[in-house]
Amino acid sequence: MGAVTEGARSAGGLVVGVLSGADRAEAHPDLSAAVATGMGQARNALIVGSADAVIAVGGSWGTLSEVAHALRRGTVPVVQLGGWRLYDTDGEPVRGPVEAASPEEAVALTGLWPS
């Protein structure tokens, strides 16, 4: 998350951390604001529900949860930078996140910011 925070701030972005714990002191020090939810992984649904786009970085279980919430909710677009590859029972790729090769491409694929 530190790299995400640094990248967003260097581009002039406001960086809000939605924390799973109840203590804002546990937040990354470079966040613009921290929201301590005390909700554990349930906060993933809040994050996705508030998003105009989702860029998933890496492949932890929490990231997979956020991708699943975004796809089920219809949050568009969902862009993936590394991480999970999902297949159906026939071994075919599941239609879902758009894959990006770089952070710049991931942001461009959202269509929300000028490239």
Is residue 71 located within the same domain as residue 15?
A: no
Q: What is the pTM of this model?
A: 0.81
47 found inside a domain: no
CA distance 47 to 90: 32
Is residue 62 located within the same domain as residue 115?
A: yes
**1-23 pLDDT tens trace:** 788 888 888 888 889 999 999 99
Could you list the residue range(s) of the whole structural domain that residue 73 is in? 52-115
Is residue 24 located within the same domain as residue 57?
A: no
Is residue 58 located within the same domain as residue 16?
A: no
Give me the mean pLDDT over the 44-53 stretch.
Answer: 91
Is residue 30 located within the same domain as residue 72?
A: no
DSSP characters over 4-42: HHHHHHHTT---EEEESSS-GGGS-TT-SEEEE---GGG
Is residue 57 located within the same domain as residue 95?
A: yes
CA distance 28 to 8: 13
CA angle 16, 18, 19 (to 5 degrees): 130
Instruction: Provide long-range contacts, Cβ within 8 A and 24+ apart, for 1-4.
Output: 1/28, 2/28, 2/30, 4/57
Is residue 107 located within the same domain as residue 71?
A: yes
78 found inside a domain: yes
46 found inside a domain: no
**25-47 pLDDT tens trace:** 999 999 999 999 999 999 999 99
How deeply is 15 buried, as exposed, middle or buried, from its count of CB atoms within 10 A (0-12, 13-18, 19+)? middle
| pLDDT at residue number 10 | 87
Is residue 30 located within the same domain as residue 80?
A: no
Is residue 62 located within the same domain as residue 112?
A: yes
| pLDDT at residue number 114 | 65
Domain count, the chain: 2
**55-89 pLDDT tens trace:** 999 888 989 999 999 999 987 789 999 988 888 89
